[in-house]
Amino acid sequence: HLVFLSFPIDELLKIFTAILCEERLVFVSFNYALLTTVMESFLYFILPFSWRFTYVPILSASSLELLDAPGTFMMGCHSKHLHDVVKVTGLVVVNIDEGTVTVNTPDLLTPASPMISPDPRLSFIFVENNSVFPSLPVEPTNIFKNICKRTKFQMELSDVQRPFYYNIEEERAFRMKKCLQYNTEIGFVFLEMMVNLFRGILPFLRMEHQRFNKQLFMDTIPECDKPFYEKVLTTDMFKQFLEDRLKGKADYWSDYEKKTQPYTKRSSGPLVSPVGISQRQYKSAHKQMSITMFSSMSQRVFEVFRLPALNDSMSYVKNAIILLNKNIEECRSIHLRASYVYLRGLFHAAEGNVEFALSDLLSLYAHNARLLPMSVVHNLLLLMPVEDREEMLRKKGITDLHDPVPSRPTPRPKFMGEVLIPDCDLNLDDFVRTISLLEMATDYETIKRLFLALAESERPYVDKYTFDVLRLCFEENQVQCAALVLPNDSLQTNEVILRVSSLIKTDFGMGRIVLTDKRLFFIKDVSNKCREIVKLRNIAKLEKVQYHSFLRPVDVLLITETGNKVKFSAWLKNERNCWSALIEEMRAGKVVAEATKDFTAIGHAVQNVLLIDAVIRSGQDELVSHYGQVTHAAETLCYFTSYMADGRHILPTDTTSALQHRVDPNIGQRDRKTVIVMLYTAGRKFYLRHIC
């Protein structure tokens, strides 16, 4: 709480921002004790971020030259050295005694003031001539300030209405209690601040590849907040924080984030999300701000479990178990009961009763799996015969506990900020991994078909040049789709643009045709007015014909709608065959999805269309492996077109009438496995039933 007594809220937030941006900070004060307390407080405020740079709370006079060292650091020194501190350009100087934040410039110590910006919400704080660290995002800052005003971290304000203690010990005890309450409240305030700042990254983590989609996340950030995230997302502390999230680390941040999560309606089916596509649909997303705070000022009741007297080890363990048995019988709180069971299991283990210890510890798996001490359980299981071990796990209903035989932990792949493209030819494994990381496709079978389409028959790999050209063509299409300017409300909910034609002649006039995962529509040149051509499911036939213009014959694609004799003609010229394949594959995916009630087929069809387009584009380069065989390569990827042509989507009448929703349990996996057991959860009634 001393930090709030020393700094105004705005100055405090500037220091907080400078630390998150990993600036070079120097704290100065006439009080040496205050230096360490304030600096440690700020390191506590940024949790779960961890300061891993040079940290010297008290710098001696003989070591002041360290302030001119390159790199990031946080140091403290006496105010009498301030005249030396101001000589070092680029330092963020925090004067604790005056409650100010200043920045060293080549001439004078300049107050850190917001720069003028056309957006009043967008402000910066000068650090050097050409570098700035930005202000905090607007919404989390406003929430923080409102809570601070409501709480008022000033002891004197809470003392005016209470009687004075005439006993000095009671007065000290009261003030200490108040300090603890304020400190706890401050901890919650900054924890909520950190959750509000960084909870938005969670939907953009790819756990299976240990990757964070930074660009997609930045697309969801309001323009006024982007400078802050552009700076912080490159820092070492954020990368460490990101690695912890990718490892699934459970801490106060993750707990608080879950507790303050707004309710969001989830999809009813495991749809395959189309990756590597235009991100237009994500741009309207907003970061979720928590709107509640767990106040430490409210009265909280703590259960205190008093251990028996320690006379000798054996009687102590037995007495502790007896006392725990009594508490477990009387306890009505499921969370408190789990803690008691955990303690009793450890006491049974200390007593040498392996069976009772395992019975208690394994029962935690159903109540609070985070309390389960895996290393202790593994060691105890090794003490039991194999038959008894399996019987114990079966009784507890645990089938997915890790192998009790300890093995050397496999190294977890390190976080990769950027996807490293192999600098050599790619075999199948390298190809699958790289395509997945680049988010060009996620389904293993789709990536394997792409590999077969590009690899030459006598060489089981894709050469580096072919892969680079394919990737560039894929990204070129994404840029074209993202650059398309459309009137508001032109796209339907979750509609994704897959392909945009060049300027062509059509029955609707001059313009461009656009393929999405739902339909074809036309954009008129100059005015950009949209007009729907046909929904994909309603396409009856695609015809490739030639029309004669006054100059030469032109390749034209005719699109006939179901139940409609009117045909739409698009003069696509040399793009005709490509467009025919793309439309037919997307249409086939829609038909197969509706016929088999497997709506993941739509997502797979989207991936196929994007890859087919990239293969056809890249096939125009004479140096790629599939040059001259573009048609064959594209047909290899037209999975749903051939699937529908073979009639495999037509199911028996009895199956069609009974089938409600087809679920593939092996999405994205190499090995196909059969479902052996399904678990049925019966609504609000708390019992489980197995359906075999």
The Cα 257–Cα 82 span in angstroms is 41
Q: Structure tokens of 148? A: 């601070």
Confidence of residue 27 (pLDDT cuts 50, 70, 90): very high
DSSP assignment of 216-247 equals: HHHHTS-GGGHHHHHHHTTSHHHHHHHHHHHT
Confidence of residue 155 (pLDDT cuts 50, 70, 90): low
Least trusted range by pLDDT, from 8-22, 153-167, 215-229: 153-167
Mean predicted confidence (pLDDT) in 57-73: 78
According to the model, what pLDDT value does residue 685 have?
47
Contacts of 85-90 with C-beta under 8 Å, sequence gap 24+, read 85/26, 85/28, 89/128, 90/24, 90/127, 90/128, 90/131
Mean predicted confidence (pLDDT) in 314-326: 86
143: which residues sit within 8 A by CB, 6+ positions away? 192, 193, 196, 289, 290
The Cα 283–Cα 274 span in angstroms is 16
Confidence of residue 270 (pLDDT cuts 50, 70, 90): very low
SS (H, E, C) 9-31: HHHHHHHHHHHHCCCCEEEEECC
382-428 residue pLDDT tens: 888 877 777 777 776 665 554 444 444 445 454 455 667 778 888 88
Higher pLDDT among residues 4 and 577, named by residue: 577
Dihedral sign for Cα atoms in the order 337, 341, 347, 353: positive
- Let me know: does 501 contact 480? Beta carbons within 8 Å: no
According to the model, what pLDDT value does residue 628 have?
86
- The single-letter DSSP state of residue 267 is P
Mean predicted confidence (pLDDT) in 343-363: 86
The Cα 4–Cα 155 span in angstroms is 11
Amino acid at 399: T
According to the model, what pLDDT value does residue 500 have?
92
Least trusted range by pLDDT, from 154-163, 469-478, 576-585: 154-163
Residue 88 has pLDDT above 50, yes or no: yes
Contacts of 394-397 with C-beta under 8 Å, sequence gap 24+, read 396/359, 396/362, 396/363, 396/365, 396/366, 397/366
The Cα 413–Cα 433 span in angstroms is 13
DSSP assignment of 71-118 equals: S-EEEEEEGGGHHHHTTSTT-EEEETTTTEEEEE-SSSEEE--BPP-S
Percent of the chain surpassing pLDDT 70:
80
Amino acid at 315: S
Query: Helix (H, G, I), strand (E, B), or coil: what is residue 359?
Result: helix
Q: How far is CA 126 from the centre of its chain?
A: 31
215-264 residue pLDDT tens: 888 888 888 888 899 999 988 889 988 888 888 888 888 888 887 775 43
Q: What value does the mean pLDDT of the chain take?
A: 78
551-566 residue pLDDT tens: 578 888 989 888 776 7
Confidence of residue 126 (pLDDT cuts 50, 70, 90): very low
Residue 429 has pLDDT above 50, yes or no: yes
Amino acid at 604: H
Percent of the chain surpassing pLDDT 90:
8
Higher pLDDT among residues 17 and 295, named by residue: 17
469-516 residue pLDDT tens: 999 999 999 999 988 888 877 888 888 899 999 888 888 877 889 999
Least trusted range by pLDDT, from 22-31, 538-547, 670-679: 670-679
Query: How many other C-beta atoms can be found within 10 angstroms of the C-beta atom of residue 172?
Result: 11
According to the model, what pLDDT value does residue 154 have?
54
Mean predicted confidence (pLDDT) in 438-463: 85
- Kindly report whether the peptide bond that precedes residue 48 is cis, defined as omega within 30 degrees of 0: yes
Residue 157 has pLDDT above 70, yes or no: no
Higher pLDDT among residues 201 and 260, named by residue: 201
- The single-letter DSSP state of residue 63 is G
Q: Structure tokens of 610? A: 């994007």
Higher pLDDT among residues 627 and 159, named by residue: 627
Interior/surface letters 223-252, b for 16+ CB within 10 angstroms, e for the rest: ebbebbbebbbebebbeebbebbbeeeeee
